[in-house]
């Protein structure tokens, strides 16, 4: 797996998946007794006009993208998560069929790869 493959997989399964899961939950809350907060969000969301729902989904996409960007900045070492002192350095590898590949650090920051494509 390459750094590009990793970022593309995160975009599809985590970022886009989270937005899709939220829209589905807002449209039809899952379970026999969904959380009251989710039921209220669902009632509000379903009462919106179709164009307003599109704006809400767009806002969710922006939030999910910003969250993924932040996590990748932490992995890349350009955003610290420790309040003081020496900062941790993160390495990320992937193994498949006995072949190990380094995802991070790489020649290009993961957060920059995320920003290369919409």
Tell me if the pTM is above 0.85: yes
If you write DSSP's letter for every residue of 29-90 in order, what string do you get? --SSS--HHHHHHHHHHHHS-HHHHHHHHHHHHHHHHHHHHHHHHHHHTSS--SSSSSPP--
Instruction: Report the candidate in 5, 1, 9, 10 with the shortest Cα–Cα distance to residue 69.
Output: 10
The pLDDT value recorded for residue 87 is: 86
The pLDDT value recorded for residue 76 is: 96
Show pLDDT as tens, one digit a residue, over the chain (118 residues): 999 999 999 999 999 999 999 999 999 999 999 999 999 999 999 999 999 999 999 999 999 999 999 999 999 999 989 888 888 899 999 999 999 999 999 999 999 999 986 6
Q: For residue 94, with 0-12 CB atoms within 10 Å meaning exposed, 13-18 middle and 19 or more buried, which class applies?
A: middle
The pLDDT value recorded for residue 118 is: 61
């Amino acid at each position: 797996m390459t750094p590009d493959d990793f970022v593309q997989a995160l975009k599809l399964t985590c970022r886009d998946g989270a937005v899709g899961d939220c829209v589905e939950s807002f449209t039809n809350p899952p379970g026999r007794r969904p959380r009251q907060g989710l039921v209220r969000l669902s009632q509000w969301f379903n009462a919106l006009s179709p164009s307003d729902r599109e704006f809400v989904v767009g806002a969710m996409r922006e939030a999910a993208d910003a969250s993924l960007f932040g996590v990748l900045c932490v992995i890349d070492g350009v955003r610290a998560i420790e309040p003081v002192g020496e900062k941790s350095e993160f390495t990320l590898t992937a193994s498949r069929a006995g072949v190990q590949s380094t995802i991070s650090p790489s020649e290009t920051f993961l957060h920059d790869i995320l920003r290369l494509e919409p």
